Chains A and B, each alone.
Chain A
Amino acid sequence: MTEVRDIERSYQSWYEERYSNAAERDVKFVTISQQPIKELYTPGDIKDLDYFNDLGFPGEFPYTRGVQSSMHRGRLWTMRQFAGFATAIESNQRYRFLLNKGQTGLSVAFDMPTLMGYDSDHPFSEGEVGRCGVAIDSLADMETLFNEIPLDKVSTSMTINGPASIIWAMYIAAAERQGVSSELLNGTIQNDILKEYIAQKSWIFPPRQSMRLITDIFEYASKHVPLWNTVSVSGYHIREAGSNAVQELAFTLADGFAYVEAGIDAGLDVDDFAPRLSFFFNSHMDFFEEIAKYRAARRIWAKRMKEKYGAINPKSWLLRFHTQTAGCSLTAEQPENNIIRTAFEALSAVLGGTQSLHTNSMDEVLALPTEKSVEIALRTQQIIAHETGVTNTIDPLAGSYFMESLTNKMEAEAENYFAQIEKFGGVINAIDEGYFQKEIADAAFDYQRAIEKGDRIVVGMNEFINQDEKLTIDILKIDPKVELKQKDKLARLKQSRDNESVERSLQALNTAAKSNDNTMPFILEAVRNYATLGEIVSELKSVFGVYKEKPMF
C-alpha cells in the first residue's frame, strides 16, 4: 500500500523535474475570487480528511454529500424561474405559461415600490410600477396574481424582505379566499433582512425592529403554516453586490446564525423554527469553487446547528438551498453567450446538490426576459436533468483531491470571517459599522480592476469583441400604461372597501407593534380588510422608525 508520505515526496520530485521545466501559460491560475489554485492536487492535500467526520453519507451528518438520501435520483431539483412584471394580470399569465411548460414551482418578483413598501400611487413609485417585478398593493392584487393557480398544489417562493410579513399575510389570505387552509401552504418568503442592509439595500425598518418582525413570523409559522420556509438566507445578493465566493459563504451563514440566535433569544425552541430556514446561493462562473462552496456550506451549518445551538432535530441541521445563476456574470455584449455561461453555472449548482434552481435568461442584463429567452433558460435545466447523466450518482466529485481540498479551504476561510464578525459583537453591529458593505465594495472594485487590466477575460466584453455588433434579440418593454392601470385599480379599491374596518385594524396593529404581541395576526386582519401594503407599512413605520444608511464607497 502506498503511503501518503511517498506520494508527497514523489510529487516534489515530479514538480522539480518535470512540471517546472514544462510550459506554463503566462496567466494567473486563480479562481474568480482570486484564490490561488495549484497545478495538481494529490492525496497529500487531503491527508487529514476523515470520511465520517468530514463527508458522511447523503442524508446523514454532516451532509457534505447532500441533504437527502437519494438526492437527484429520488427527485430532481425544483425548476423555479423567478418571474413577475407589470400588473398581477400579466404576471398571472406568465406563471401559467411557465407551469404549462413543465416548471414545477413559482417564484414571484415584485416591483421596487412593493419591495420598499410603497403603494403604486406614492410619489416615490413614479416610473417604477411594474418595472422590475409585479406591482402588489393589496390582497385584491394577490388574488389576481394566483387566479386559477391552486395554492394547495404549487409551491411559491416570494422574494420579499422589508414588508415580508405583509406580503406573506396577503398570500395566506388569498389562499383562504380559494378555500385553502394555511396548514397546506408550501413555499418560501425570502424575509432575509440582514442581507438587505449588507448588500441588496431594500430595507424599511431599522435592523432590530426588523428582527422582531422575523421572529414573529417564526412563531406564527410554527403554529399555523408549518410547511412554510420562513427565511431564505440569501447569499445571492451579497455575491451580486460584488463579494467573492468565500465572503458569500461566510456572510450568508453568519446571517443564518443571527436568525437562529434571534429566535432563541425570543424564547423559541431552536427545533421549532430552524427546520424551516432555507438558503439561497449564487452560482458564478468558477465551476469548482462554486461546488466546493455548497459542500462547505452544508457541513458548516450542520456542525454549528448541532454543536453550538444544540439543535436535536436532524431537520434543523440541514442546509437546503435554492440557487440562481449569477446575473452579474452576464454581459450586455453578445448576449447569446449568456446562454452558455448560465448552463455552466447551472451545472455546478446541480453538482453541488441544489434543491431548486433558477437559470437566468440571456437578456436579463438588458431588460426583463422575453418568453423566448425564459424558455431557453428553463430548457437548459431540463437538458442538464435529462441528457447529461450528471444525476445518475450522488455528489460525483466527492473524493477528488482538488474538490475536497477546496471544500476544506472554503470552510477554513469562512471560519476566519466568523471570527471577524464575532469581534464586532455580531452581524447587526458589523452592519452598523459598515464592515460587510466595505468588504463587498473592495471585492467588487478588485474584480472590476482585474477585468480592466485584462487579468480576467470576459469573452465578448474585454476580449474577443465583436466590433460591429448589432443587438439581435427582442427586448421586453413595459408599457407606461401599466402604472396608470395599477393606480386606477388602487383608487377603485380604496373607494369600494370598508374603510372603517381598515382603520380599525390598522389601529389594532399599531397597538400590537408597540407591545410584545405577535404582529402577524394583526397584519393578517388588516390585509383581509384590504388595507394596502403602503398603509400597513406606514403604520409600522410610525412605531418602528425607518433605516438610513451612511453613504460610503
Chain B
Amino acid sequence: MIKRIRVLMAKPGLDGHDRGIKVVARALRDAGMEVIYTGLHQTPQQIVAAAIQEDVDVVGLSILSGAHMTLFPKIRKLLDDNDGSNIILIGGGTIDKEDAKELLQNKFADALFASGTPTDLIIAWINEKVV
C-alpha cells in the first residue's frame, strides 16, 4: 500500500480568517491526502509539536494578519530544531510579492500560494515534492 501524504494545516497567530485554509484543507483531503487542521490561534510551538507528533510530510500555514515575516522563520527554525528539517513548509494568505520572495529565498518557506491560486496547483505541487 502506498503511504498517503500527511499534511498539517495550521493557523498561527491571532488571525481568525479561516476561509482559505478550510477550502484548501478540503481540496487536499478530496485529493487523497491525510489532512489535520489545527484550528485557530496556534503558537509556533504548538504547530511544530503537532507536526512532529503527527509525522506529517507537509505543514501549510495560512496567515492573513501581516505577521508572516515573523511566523514563517520562527516555525521553520522550530521544525529544524526538532528533527523536522525534512518537513516541507508552505503557506498562503495576504503576503505581498516582495515578502514572498524574501521568505522563499531564505528558505523560510518552500512554496507560497497567493490568494486566487487554484487548489489543483497546490495539490500538484505537493504530489511532486513529497516522495
Contacts and interface: CB of A to CB of B under 8 A. Distances in A.
Contacts of A368: 66
Nearest to A461: B116
B15 interface: yes
A367 B18 contact: no
A368 to B, nearest CB: 8
B16 interface: yes
A367 B119 contact: no
B61 interface: no
B114 A112 contact: no
A210 interface: no
A461 B117 CA distance: 9
Nearest to B70: A127
Contact of B25 (A115, A132, A553): A553
Most central of B9, B40, B97, B116 by chain A CB within 10 Å? B116
A241 interface: yes
Interface string A179-207: 00000000000000000100011100000
B74 to A, nearest CB: 8
Interface in A317-376: 328, 331-333, 365-368
B37 A552 contact: yes
Given A112-B65, A553-B26, A365 B115 contact: yes
B19 A112 contact: no
A127 B69 contact: yes
B81 interface: no
Contacts of B43: 123-124
Contacts of A116: 14, 41
A463 interface: no
Given A445-B26, A478-B66, A551 B94 contact: no
B39 interface: yes
Contacts of A445: 22-23, 26-27
Contact of B39 (A115, A128, A480, A551): A551
B32 interface: no
A471 B21 CA distance: 25
B66 A444 contact: no
A242 interface: yes
A242 B19 contact: yes
Contacts of B66: 128, 131-132, 367-368, 478
Nearest to A116: B14
A365 B66 CA distance: 11
A461 B116 CA distance: 7
Given A201-B18, A332-B115, A444-B23, A128 B13 contact: yes
B119 A112 contact: no
A158 B94 CA distance: 23
A520 B89 CA distance: 45
Given A128-B67, A475-B98, A553 B37 contact: yes
B-side interface size class:
35 or more
A132 B95 CA distance: 12
A200 B97 contact: no
A442 B67 CA distance: 28
Contacts of A131: 65-67
Interface string A113-134: 1011010000111111001100
A475 B96 contact: yes
A448 B119 contact: yes
B131 to A, nearest CB: 26
A241 B67 contact: no
A240 interface: yes
Interface string A533-553: 000000000000000011111
A126 B14 contact: no
B23 A471 contact: no
A362 to B, nearest CB: 13
Contacts of A8: none
A549 B40 contact: yes
Contacts of A452: 118-120
Most central of A115, A123, A549, A553 by chain B CB within 10 Å? A553
Contacts of A127: 13, 67, 69-71
A200 B18 CA distance: 8
B49 to A, nearest CB: 15
A76 interface: no
Contacts of A128: 13-15, 65-67, 70
B126 to A, nearest CB: 16
A441 interface: yes
B117 to A, nearest CB: 9
Contact of B14 (A115, A448, A458, A553): A115
Given A366-B94, A366-B96, A240 B67 contact: no
B96 A333 contact: no
A331 B116 contact: yes
A111 to B, nearest CB: 8
Most central of B16, B64, B71, B118 by chain A CB within 10 Å? B16
Interface string B39-78: 1110100000000000000000000111101110000000
B18 to A, nearest CB: 6
Nearest to A446: B23
Interface in A436-480: 440-441, 444-445, 448, 451-452, 458, 461-462, 471, 475, 478, 480
Interface of B: 9, 13-19, 21-23, 25-27, 29, 35, 37-41, 43, 64-67, 69-71, 94, 96-98, 114-116, 118-120
14 contacts: A125-B14, A128-B13, A128-B14, A128-B66, A200-B16, A240-B19, A241-B17, A331-B115, A333-B116, A441-B26, A448-B119, A462-B118, A478-B66, A551-B37
Interface of A: 112-113, 115-116, 118, 123-128, 131-132, 196, 200-202, 240-242, 328, 331-333, 365-368, 440-441, 444-445, 448, 451-452, 458, 461-462, 471, 475, 478, 480, 549-553
Given A444-B23, A445-B26, 12 more contacts: A116-B14, A128-B65, A196-B16, A241-B19, A366-B96, A367-B66, A368-B66, A441-B26, A445-B22, A461-B116, A549-B40, A551-B40
The 7 closest A-B pairs by CB, nearest first: A127-B70, A201-B16, A551-B39, A131-B66, A127-B67, A112-B14, A553-B22
